[in-house]
A and B are shown apart, each in its own frame.
Chain A
Amino acid sequence: MSLPPLVARGLRKRYGDTHALDGFDLEIESGAVHALLGPNGAGKSTAVNTFATLTRCDEGEVRVAGRDVRKEPAAVRSSVGLVGQHAALDEILFGRENLVMFGRLYGLSKSAASERADELLGTFGLLDAADRKVSTYSGGMRRRLDIAAGLIRRPALLFLDEPTTGLDPRARNEVWQTVRQIVDAGTTVLLTTQYLDEADQLADRITVMDAGRVVAEGSPQQLKRRLGGDRVLVTAPAHADLDRLAAALGGTADAELRQVTVEAGQDGGAAALTAVVRALDAAGLEVDDILLRRPTLDEVFLHLTARDAAPTGPAPTGPAPTGPAPTGPAPTDTASTEGALR
């Protein structure tokens, strides 16, 4: 069947005065990882809860594998797995008992449920901890068990709501490994995240959302390209040198940052950097600093959502974006910038 795993059209959901979803559309492709990227309060969880039949939208339509979540919630529930924001496990039960319990609730017989539990515990490297209380598990183990519980019935579509929020870097890596495993096994994954590098690492496609709306959509590469290519940033020792520097390098000067930006051409950042160094040498100019910058999703994100505070992701690797990106209020230019984006 070629029905898309999930199509959502025109979702609206209001809580009092807040529009959690404000005309939200989404379509995801089979067999891929689709990331919903947005800051806290962007409406990611509301969207996922709506897809998983937990929340009812005020307006709009959601179809999971062609089934309407409103009209056939039971059918939808048996074809999706939901791994919510908090590790929804029974802390007092053992890891294995959790999986067996959820398996039994999915309608598996006792033996089938424990067979499946063992299989999943093995897949996620939890066999050694299988007969310990979940309350003794580390954050990463909990999360893996949580994801395993979402996979008991081999759902065609798995929702992961902020799977690595609150995890340390090592546990986060474990979860990423797990997600890749899941996708390799043929499950379509929709994950929400406020970590840009997470979307970059895992997703085939990213939907950036803010204030309940889609702000941009595309592959990580497409989104990054939206801010242009690599740049070399050269910092002048003093303001007086700035214009001479800009002229010698053929770049644009930024007086405030005492910096010249040189756009890399087709040959890429390394070639541009070499050219800059040669030009500096030839002109006999001194500089404070030279930096090769690749656009990060952080910049894309800040640019698109025009928010002052970055989400709690890793900090951008350099100063604020200076290149061709206008930093004004941006969410309105979604359609105009580049053909690759919606």
Chain B
Amino acid sequence: MNAVAATLRQSWVITLRDLKHWQREPWTPVFGIAFSVMLVLVFGYLLGGAIALPGGGDYLAYLMPGIFALSMMFGIEATMSAIANDSKKGVTDRFRSLPISGAAVPLGRAGADLVNSAAELAVLMVGGLLIGWSASGSVAATVLGVVLLLWLRFAMLVLGVFLGLTFRGEGGVTAVQVLVWPLGFLSNVLVAPESMPGWLAVLAQWNPISATAAACRELFGNPTGITGGVLADHALLLAALWPAVLTLVFLPLTARAYRRLSR
């Protein structure tokens, strides 16, 4: 068996293990999904009525792709705490003492988390359709949108594995759970950056999840709320590039953190 096939086989074993966790303790993924649904309800119905888009348009249609992107980003917490938990319990050290590829454990985790996120997206999309959101783009465009969302999730996965390996204590996970809120909200997912003060709008536009959300709005034929700026012209490109940049930066760092785990 060549090295790549062996790595994939090992990763698959890890993926099955992670999926079995959810099968046995389904509350973790169920609450994860319920949380995103709650965000839709809170912003769609509770707060949404007071939010007006600069270019006009239906707020719910604007919101849904934003929530999709936000839930991909929030997935970082699940990845990070699973990885931190494993390395705290010594399971990771046992994996490291086995004659398996160093990439197998993170890849296996990635497989399971992508399955989870795909399920979450499916629930959110069906839920969105039920409450009046619609994707009016072509099938190909819609599929591309979903791929870009999962691509963002993959980058968040890599980042989550890195953070989980690096900051193993409870404090690390809690810090990330707190930080994802301002970092997630400082974007175009909930409100149009045009409504923010200038400097904040710039930051929000350059947030990686803004690119994915803007690209999805285009692809799903939803109002973008954009009247100008870099996202107006290059949303698709940025949605493809941002996760690539994050992955390129954090994949080597993750590999290094994994090798050096018990130093």
User: For residue B95, which residues in chain A have a CB less than 8 angstroms away from its CB?
Assistant: 105
Is A78 a contact of B99 with CB atoms below 8 Å?
yes
Partner of B91, one of A49, A54, A82, A88: A88
Please report the C-alpha to C-alpha distance between residue A54 and residue B263 in the assembled complex, in whole angstroms. 7
How would residues 133 to 145 of chain B score, 1 for a CB under 8 Å from any chain A CB and 0 otherwise?
A: 0000000000000
Please give, as numbers and ranges, the residues of chain B lying within 8 Å of A91 by CB-CB distance: 89
On chain B, the residues within 8 Å of A68 by CB distance are none
What are the 4 A-B residue pairs with the smallest beta carbon separation, nearest first? A88-B90, A86-B90, A88-B94, A82-B97
Among listed A96-104, A267-275, A304-312, interface-contacting one: A96-104
Cβ A54 vs Cβ B13 within 8 A? no
**With known contacts A92-B25, A102-B98, A55–B263 Cβ distance under 8 A:** yes
Q: Which parts of B206-263 form the interface with A (CB within 8 Å)?
A: 261-263
B-contacting residues, A61-96, CB 8 Å: 74, 77-78, 80-82, 84-93
Q: Is A21 an interface residue when CB atoms closer than 8 A count as contact?
A: no
CB within 8 Å of B: which A167-209 residues: none
Chain B minimum-CB-distance residue to A73 = B99
8 A Cβ contacts from A251-285 to B: none
Check B94 against A82 for contact (C-beta < 8 Å): yes
CB nearest to B96 among chain A residues: A54
- Chain A residues with CB under 8 Å of B89's CB are 86, 88-89, 91
**Please, how many angstroms separate the alpha-carbon atoms of A93 and B95 in the complex?**
15
**Also in contact, A106 and B98, with CB within 8 A (given A88-B91, A90-B17, A92-B20):** yes
Across the interface, A84 reaches (CB within 8 A) one of B10, B20, B24, B90, namely B90
B17 and A101: CB pair below 8 A?
Answer: yes
Assembly CA distance A78 to B89 (angstroms): 22
Are B263 and A15 within 8 A (Cβ)? yes
- Rounded to whole angstroms, the CA-CA distance of A149 and B13 in the bound complex is 16
Contact of A54 among B20, B97, B99, B104 (CB under 8 A): B97
Apart from A54-B262, A92-B24, A133-B24, list 17 A-B contacts with CB within 8 A. A15-B263, A49-B93, A52-B97, A54-B261, A56-B263, A77-B98, A78-B99, A86-B90, A88-B90, A88-B91, A90-B17, A91-B89, A97-B20, A101-B17, A104-B10, A104-B13, A105-B14
B86 smallest CB distance to A (angstroms): 8
Say yes or no: A105 contacts B262, CB within 8 Å: no
Question: Is A53's CB within 8 Å of the partner chain B?
Answer: yes
- Name B262's contact: one of A49, A81, A101 (CB within 8 Å): A49
Chain A residues positioned under 8 Å from B20 (CB to CB): 92-93, 97
B100 interface residue, CB < 8 Å from A?
Answer: yes
Contact check, A105 vs B97: say whether CB atoms are below 8 A apart. Answer: no
A151 to chain B, nearest CB (A): 13
Chain A residues bordering chain B, tally (CB within 8 A): 32
Residues of A within 8 A of B (CB): 15, 49, 52-56, 74, 77-78, 80-82, 84-93, 97, 101-102, 104-107, 133, 149
Chain B residues whose CB sits within 8 angstroms of the CB of A49 once the complex forms: 93, 262
Compute how far the CA of A55 lies from the CA of B96 in the bound complex, rounded to whole angstroms.
10
Evaluate contact between A88 and B93: CB separation under 8 angstroms.
Answer: yes
Chain A contacts for B96, CB-based, 8 A: 54
* Interface size range of chain B in the complex: 20 to 34
Query: Within residues 1 to 46 of chain B, which ones have a CB less than 8 A from any CB in chain A?
Result: 6, 10, 13-14, 16-17, 20-21, 24-25
- How far apart are the CA atoms of A133 and B23 in the complex, in Å? 13
| Cβ–Cβ contact B263 & A84, under 8 A | no
Q: Is the CB of B97 within 8 A of A53?
A: yes
Q: Please determine whether B93 and A106 come into contact, CB atoms closer than 8 angstroms.
A: no
In angstroms, Cα B89 to Cα A90, docked, is 9
Closest to A149 in B: B94
In Å, the complex CA distance between A74 and B104 comes to 14
| B-side contacts of A106, CB under 8 Å | 98-99
Residues of B within 8 A of A89 (CB): 89, 91
Query: Are the CB atoms of A90 and B25 closer together than 8 Å?
Result: no
Cα A53 to Cα B25 with chains together (Å)? 34
- Measured between alpha carbons, how far is A88 from B24 in the docked complex, in Å? 19
The smallest C-beta distance from A199 to any residue of chain B, in angstroms, reads 23
Which residues of chain B are within 8 angstroms of A133 by Cβ–Cβ distance? 24
List B190-206 residues whose CB lies under 8 Å from chain A.
none
Instruction: Contacts A52-B97, A90-B91 given; indicate if A101 touches B24 (C-beta within 8 A).
Output: no
Among B10, B21, B99, B104, max chain A CB count under 10 A is at: B99
- Measured in the bound complex, the distance between the Cα atoms of B16 and A133 in whole Å is 16
List residues of chain B with CB within 8 A of the CB of A149.
Answer: 94
CA distance A105 to B92 in the complex (A): 13
| Min distance, Cβ A182 to any Cβ of chain B, angstroms | 17
Please state if B90 and A55 are interface contacts (CB–CB under 8 Å). Answer: no
Given contacts A55-B262, A90-B17, A133-B24, contact A85 B97 (CB under 8 A): no
Q: Which residues of B contact A82 (CB under 8 A)?
A: 93-94, 97
A172 vs chain B, min Cβ distance (A): 19
CA distance A84 to B104 in the complex (A): 20
